[in-house]
Amino acid sequence: MSNEIDTDTTADEILLAATNHDIDTLTKLLREPGAANVQDPDTGYAPLHAAVASCEADTESSETNGEGDAVHNTALSEESAVETVKFLFENGAIWNELDANDETPGCIAKRLGLEKVYEEIVRAGVRAEMLFNRLDEYTALGDDEDDEDEESDEDDEQIDGFEPSPSTGNGPTVATSNGVVHDPVEGFEPMPNPSKSPTSAGAPQNGDSSVPELVQTNENGHTTEPIEANIRNPNVNSEDYLTSELSYSGDRLLDSDKNAVMMDWETEIMFKSVERLVLKSGLRTMNVGFGMGIVDGAFLAKDPQMHHIIEAHPQVHQRMKEKGWYDKENVHVHEGKWQDVLPKLLEQGVVLDAIYFDTYAEDYKDLKIFFQDYVIGLLDSDGLFGFYNGLGADRQVCYDVYTRIVEMDLFNCGLDTEWLDIKVPEQVFTKEEWKDVRHKYWDNVNPYRLPTCKFLG
């Protein structure tokens, strides 16, 4: 077996051109699919990382030419970085690719204070996620046709090096900015998509174009995947959670695998949410997801006319009985999943003044179904809706992307959202706070953005 030396320097040339913000050279080099996502084997930098990082001054740099370039290790301008980032997105760059330091391009831009670059990355993330959400809905509509399913399965078997993205359906593989679906590209696969629900609000803004996100596979078929926004705990699904053993341990509620279902540091967030949802006593209120009962205690402190609690976990039901929640005045506990309980309440003609949503082991798709199918049917015309906003809370750029996505989707359902920024307690960012917790569901995101929604008009 001969050991051939790889003399192809294309990847190095692309990374160098991105570092130098050399769009002319990039134009010549980015002609092959996936070229905008090559990575340095040592740093893990993709072209986006390189373009953003070159705006950081090297404190040990030697004499410069005054303008700054990669050769002389000096900082380039943010303006040229913005243009380069835009160009890379137009050529299929992945907005949330991770480097060797576990940073996305957005993480680097945020750390360096590059607000304009960061904004471009957030907008690209919104476009990409909304595009895949829309494609997933198109797929769901087609899943009812057995013939189409069989044809899709046959097509997948014929594609070398391609796997569909993990989602509830097997959606179209690659699409352009206008939504036209093309044949899959050999050796690439779509980015894992954390949310599934589409919206027309994902259309390009201010003339920007959406681009598909592709992930390059190596010769062995292994994939370097971009991160998936932490919309839910990746270790848990709803069915497994509902059969797991829970433990109330001081300031936290854990499942049998030591995943945190809820923690005491959320108390201020819960009470602030109720303060904004319940403006007077005597209202009809509801909370979905009891957990530790923090938000329900806040609701009862507002002296509601009737308070509904929907909780699905049997062990939480037992805890609620032990604490006397079933016997509290004006409290109605509904045992079961909200997907089963709410249709019955709609049939009964229940109308509410305030609704809060905070479930566990569900993702953004579930939240969207909740507000588009049930909030609009249960909420009074002048009522208010809120939810625990932990969408993408594993890193700031993902949090900002999903905050915008949910606001767009709420607007398309006729709901206007007002945001209140709350400083996250300092202990949340300490190792001690997450001791003995398997999954850290909040990380490096501040402030918490608290949503309060009401009907438009």
According to the model, what pLDDT value does residue 69 have? 53
Burial code (b: 16+ CB inside 10 Å, e: under 16) for 216-238 equals bbeeeeebebbbbbbbbbeebeb
Q: Is the model's pLDDT at 302 over the cut of 60? A: yes
Write out the H or E segment, with its range, that includes residue 16.
Answer: helix 10-19
- What mean pLDDT value characterizes the chain? 83
Best-predicted range by mean pLDDT (125-134, 202-211, 275-284): 275-284
- Percentage of residues in the chain with pLDDT exceeding 70? 74
Structure-derived torsion over alpha carbons of residues 157, 162, 168, 169, reported in degrees to the nearest 10: -50
Q: How far apart are CA 17 and CA 50, in angstroms?
A: 9
Residue with tokens 């109720």: 274
Residue 140's pLDDT is 66
Helix (H, G, I), strand (E, B) or coil at 232: coil
Helix or strand (DSSP H, E) at 137: helix 115-142
Tokens 């294309």 map to which residue? 10
- Higher pLDDT: 182 or 403? It is 403
If you average pLDDT over residues 443-451, what whole number do you get? 97
Report d(CA 368, CA 346) in Å as an integer.
Answer: 17
Of all helices (H) and strands (E), which one includes residue 131? helix 115-142
Quickly state the pLDDT bin for 133 (edges 50, 70, 90). Answer: confident
pLDDT single digits (tens) 230-284: 444 555 789 999 999 999 988 999 999 999 999 999 999 999 999 999 999 999 9
Instruction: Tell me how far CA of residue 124 lies from CA of 25, 94, 140, 192, 206, in angstroms.
Output: 23, 9, 25, 16, 12
pLDDT in tens, 23-49: 999 999 999 999 999 999 999 999 999
210 compared with 85, residue with greater pLDDT: 85
Q: What is the mean pLDDT of residues 383-411?
A: 97
pTM: 0.78
Res 201: pLDDT: 36
- Which tops the pLDDT comparison, 367 or 170? 367
Which H, E and C letters describe 239-251, residue by residue? HHHHCCCCEEECC
Q: H-helix or E-strand containing 272?
A: helix 267-277
Q: Which two tokens stand for residue 30?
A: 């980015």
Is the pLDDT assigned to residue 215 strictly greater than 90? Answer: no
Q: Taking the CA atoms of the chain, what radius of gyration do you get in angstroms?
A: 24
For the segment 128-146, the average pLDDT, to the nearest whole number, is: 76
Give the pLDDT confidence of 184-204 residue by residue, as tens digits.
333 333 333 333 333 333 333
